[in-house]
Structure 1
Amino acid sequence: MDIKDSDATLIFTSNLPLVLISAAVALAIYLVTSRRPHYERWEKYGVKHVNVPVHQMPEPRNRFLMKEYGPTVGFFTHVPVLVTRNHDLLKQILVKDFNNFPNRGDDLPSKSPLGKGVFFLKDYDWKRIRQLMSPSFSTGKLKRISTHVQEAANRLTQAFEKCAETGSHLKLFHTTGQYTTSIIAKTAFGVQADSIGEEKDDEFTFFAKNIFKKRSKFSLFFISFLIRFREFRRFLTYTVGMYFPDPCTRTSTDYFNAILKERIAEREKAEIQGSRHVNNDFLQSLVSTMVTSEKKTAAAVISEENAASTANGSAKLEKTITAEEVIAQSVLTILAAYETTSSTLQFCMYKIAQNPDVQEKLFQEIIDVVEHENPTHEELSKLHYMEQVVNETLRLFPPVIRISRKTVEPRSYGDINIPAGAVIEIPIKEIQRDPAHYPDPDVFDPDRFNEESKAKRSPLAFIPFGQGPRLCIGMRLALLELKIALVKVLRKVKVELNDETVPRKGQDIPIEYLGFARPKQPIELAVKLRAD
């Protein structure tokens, strides 16, 4: 199978005049909006104000701001933006005063269902969908699906063993992506995705891996420009119908739309007919809710009065969801399960290959604690050093490098005043590499997360899954997948770097940050069997 994702190239070749006109309009908007009155500067609110280039990507921008101007700094785009790693301020925004910062500061203009996923939803819709999704990630549900995780981890281990036996290098992200996609396909949608260890991905895995566009430097520059003008980006996406600003590939979008519509129709029919042999998975849970709400009302519309009272916390959330929303949450779940967990497992394997002493200490803990072929939840909870290793990996390579919140009403916290409508950017990567809390922050050191070290730090110094009510809903599933994979694989093999691996022994691999961490070259490890 060969999908040629040339969306960006086609846009620039066939619609070059439109792109140039769009760029000119965006530039005009910038020149007009950049002439803002003095009162819009952050000094008025007790915060250092800086001007930032319109084209600068968020990650290098925030890294520069934190280094040059300290923990809290402000600038303006189309709205006032406050970037902070101040823990007292973060505690207010993410936890204590959450009701004033309930929504993310950015949406995702997209023709794909992804833009309507719970990650981007706001206010009542976020509360409603979050509540409907939560039971699928409960402790009881995780215990029931752990059998599927164990089976996938067994196939992952066999892939590592095969590389050890043949002397070939393991393509790390390729294989870990197959592992995590196999789990979510089976446990959430009842779909078989059995390509773990194979050179060629199965269809489901292939489209999951290719859901995001791979952009050129020129297109990335233009996208960074559009990020500053969100309404203009929405105009290009929804009114003009351009696919270029969309982060998702059309091929993957079409594939998941088609397969999910088919599955939903099958599940809906079975539910209406009262079939009790339907799958007890994530998709079925949402479809059951959809069918129930359709029975209550043909329109399945919540009144404005009910929505308003719910926003004030005085009414119960309605258990309703549309087919379109089911697809959106499903696509988001597929993407999150694939990208974040497989990336973390990749970096974890890479760092323990770089640090043989860490790998041996981890192996010894597994041997001492895990007595069963399939580790129990109780045994996993006792793997304290493994938890330190995973946390240190998440510290260095958080699944999402920044999050944001938008202010509803003005707030004052000490000398800092935040106006209504301001966006708060929370630079997770910079928070977790702050030398004030992590000496030699670029060094991999799992002992940063022993009990003594953790007790000396603020909990807000480590937020790889966010914090507060919008904490990542799939966090516990991700950690379960990571720990089971590490137990299964490391009992059987060692992972190593040598003079032929990527990177070579003694070297580091360059990392790029485009919303999340990615190595600039695919990591390839050497694998050796452990003696029985």
Structure 2
Amino acid sequence: MDKEGTAQAFRNHQAPDVSLVLISTVIALTVYFVINRWWRRERWEKYGVKHVNVGMYTFPEARNRFLMARPELTVGFSSDTPVLITRDLDLLKQILVKDFNNFSNRGTPIPTKSPLGQGLFFLNDSDWKRIRQLMSPSFSTGKLKRISIHVQDAANRLSEVFQKCAETGTNLKLLHTTGQYTSSIIAKTAFGVAADSIGQEEDDQFTYFVKNIFKKRSKHSPIFLAILLAFPRFRRFLTFTLGLYFPDPITSQSTDYFQAILKETIAEREVAERQGSRHVNNDFLQSLVSTMVASEEKTTAEDKSEEKKTPISNGSMNCSTSPKKTISTQEIIAQSVLTIFAAYETTASTLQFCLYKLAQNPEVQEKVYEEILAVVEHEDPTHEELAKLNYMGQVIDETLRLFPPLVRIRRQAVEARTYGPITIPAGANVEIPIKEIHRDPSHYPDPEVFDPDRFSAENKSKRNPLAFIPFGQGPRLCIGMRLAYLELKIALVQVLRKVKVELNDTTVPRKGEEITTTYTLIFPRSKEPIELAVKFRGE
């Protein structure tokens, strides 16, 4: 199917059968009201926490605004499970770092049948530990240095797009282009796939399906349906028990596309690995395939060795029960789909907002440019030069403060824990409102102001480290964080050394105006796509 036909099929599949939606909604609402009437909900007062009735504030963003307007740092409410929401940084240090083993799980899983739901971000307990250990080498410093050539290539092509806009006087559609940049990098560095649409009006097929992994909420969707789907328990019931498609946030087209190309690629690489072929690809996917083959061969060898052992007196074999560090084909697919989306989403969004804030603050942009001239001596910046771009790092961090890639995360208590007057019962979810913490005036005076000096070494030393957690904190810190910084810094170097970005009366927003931020699930978005003017240096 050609791209136009694929896109049309995708759009056609977005509208669920109206009668099916109506029937399912009536059933789910009936179940909800029955359970809501008879289900005994946990009250937080007995745990030393102010209990708040969130009422109709079912959408997380509206709910968090409602709760964060309260004077208490920590409050509790009842949803599908008891939920504690806190801005108390000392309490968060206990949960995310010191007592991590009791809060290692994220709680409510994403209600999807897509492999994305089995990705590292959503895994729990021993599965998370096993997969994290297997994936970590793919994001080591050595690996990042080896793949930086691909990042440089994509950044050079990105710079050419900006220069072309400067030549033609055309405004640049920011997220469209930064998305093509990050998609190109992850396709090449992780899977050996060429995605070459940077600067093109139409996305290549890989990028198209990356951008459309999540369903887009229709403005015509009934409000009661939207409210219903805000309850995770019932969304999972509709998805897994009733087997319905519309509550699943992941598009089946993207799932089918990525599963197809990944299964084929994994099969080819597995055959080559077993035949002892030299690795043509030195990427993320190859490292997981090599791990799978090596662990299977080791297990086979151990099983043959066990067969030769003499049975002990009770008739059982003297075999090891230690867990094997292995990974299955389906798990490789799940981690691959998650990596594709996470690497695309976080960096594309952050680069967009960073360039927007630089256009809005030309004096900051000029300071970044001067630092590039002073530090970067090579056409392609080295890792050592990138590490010395301290002010650029401050600009990126200030962007991440205002627009964290994830606006909130959760942890679930395995066992009850008491910290001072507060007890967190077993099974309770702790919600960490990253966006609200990042904009708390007690940590950041005038929090809506863009000020990279907040992240100078001196100012950072005076602030609690938990006041800045765009990639999480503790052992579940985002595994791809360093790759994101690498992509952001190289892109900014290659773009800003050639051109400058501006706001004027033709851009979106216009000079003097502000963007309106909305949220897709837990990801920040500009309500109106940002478009910037581009000028050559010296103009």
Counterpart in 1 of 2:433?
Answer: 427
Contact 1:128 1:317 in 2 (8 A): no
Q: How does 1:345-384 map to 2 (within 5 A)?
A: 345-384=351-390
Pairwise mapping of residues 478-489 of structure 1 onto structure 2 (< 5 A)? 478-489=484-495
Displacement of 1:216 in angstroms is: 2.5
TM-score by length of 1: 0.93
The sequence identity of aligned pairs, in percent, is 70
Cα deviation for residue 295 of structure 1 reads 2.6
- Which residue of the partner structure matches residue 139 of structure 2? 137
Structure-2 separation of matches of 1:513 and 1:171 = 19
* SS in structure 1 of the partner of residue 70 of structure 2: helix
Indicate if the aligned counterparts of 2:106 and 2:409 stay in contact, CA closer than 8 A: yes
**Partner of residue 333, structure 2:** 327
Question: Are residue 280 (structure 1) and residue 282 (structure 2) matched?
Answer: yes
Q: Which residue in the other structure is 2:168 paired with? A: 166
Equivalent in the alignment of 1:43: 45
Instruction: Could you list the structure 1 runs, at least 4 aligned residues long, displaced by more than 6 angstroms after superposition.
Output: none
> Does the CA-based 8 Å contact 1:366-1:491 persist in structure 2?
yes
For the pair 1:520 / 2:527, whether they are aligned, the reply is yes
- Structure 2: gaps spanning 5 or more residues: 304-319
8 Å Cα contact 1:101/1:407 also seen in 2: yes
* CA apart distance, 1:297: 4.3
Q: Tell me what 1:119 maps to.
A: 121
8 Å contact from structure 2 (residues 151, 185) kept in 1 = yes
The alpha-carbon deviation at position 223 of structure 1 amounts to: 4.7
Output the CA distance in 2 between the equivalents of 1:277 and 1:293. Answer: 18
**Structure 2 residue matching 1:68: 3-state secondary structure:** coil
Q: Report deviation, 1:16.
A: 2.6
What is the correspondence of 1:219-368 to structure 2 with a 5 Å cutoff? Answer: 222-230=225-233, 232-297=234-299, 318-368=324-374
Q: Quick one: distance in 2 between partners of 1:367 and 1:353?
A: 19
Shift in CA distance, 322/224, structure 1 to aligned 2, threshold 3 Å: farther
CA distance in structure 2 between the partners assigned to 1:498 and 1:229 by the alignment: 43
**Separation of aligned partners in 1, 2:486 and 2:279:** 27
Q: Describe how 1:334-483 pairs up with structure 2 within 5 A.
A: 334-483=340-489
* Bigger mean CA deviation after superposition, 402-411 or 6-15: 6-15
Task: Specify the code of the residue in structure 2 equivalent to 1:84.
Answer: T
Distance 1:291 1:220 in 2: 49
Gaps of 5+ in 1: 302-313
Return the match for 1:156 from 155, 158, 170.
158
| Larger Rg, first or second structure (1 or 2) | 2
Report the Cα offset of residue 23 of structure 1: 2.7
Instruction: Report the CA distance between 1:293 and its aligned residue.
Output: 2.6
**Counterparts of residues 160-239 of structure 1 (less than 5 Å):** 160-217=162-219, 218=221, 222-230=225-233, 232-239=234-241
Render the CA deviation track for 1:449-488: whole Å, top value 9, x for unaligned.
1122112110000000000000000000000000000000
State yes or no: 1:10 paired with 2:13.
Answer: no
Match of 2:251, as an amino acid? T
Q: Is the 8 A contact 2:179 2:348 kept in 1?
A: yes
Query: Aligned equivalents of 2:257 and 2:203: distance in 1?
Result: 15
Structure 1 counterpart of 2:378, which letter?
A: H
SS of the residue aligned with 2:69?
helix
Say whether the 8 Å CA contact 1:369–1:379 is kept in structure 2.
yes
Partner of 1:307: none
Q: Which residue of structure 1 lines up, in the alignment, with residue 311 of structure 2?
A: none
Structure 2 CA distance for partners of 1:46 and 1:384, relative to 1, 3 Å: same
- Tell me how far apart the structure 2 counterparts of residues 172 and 449 of structure 1 sit (CA, whole Å): 25
Q: Distance in 2 between matches of 1:397 and 1:240?
A: 37
Deviation of the 1:365 alpha carbon: 0.5
Q: How many residues align?
A: 515
Q: CA deviation at 1:15?
A: 4.1
Residues 278 and 284, structure 1, Cα contact 8 Å, conserved in 2: no
Contact 2:407-2:434 within 8 A present in 1 as well: yes
Amino acid at match of 1:380: L
Q: CA separation of 1:154/1:433 partners in 2, compared to 1, >3 Å: closer, same or farther?
A: same
Q: What is the root-mean-square deviation in Å for CA atoms of aligned residues?
A: 2.0
TM-score by length of 2: 0.92
Question: Which deviates more from structure 2 when the two are superposed, residues 114-123 or residues 435-444?
Answer: 435-444
Q: Residues of 2 paired with 1:24 and 1:138: CA distance?
A: 51
2: CA distance, partners of 1:523 / 1:61: 27
User: Structure 2: how far apart are the matches of 1:439 and 1:171?
Assistant: 32
Q: Secondary structure at the match of 2:51?
A: coil
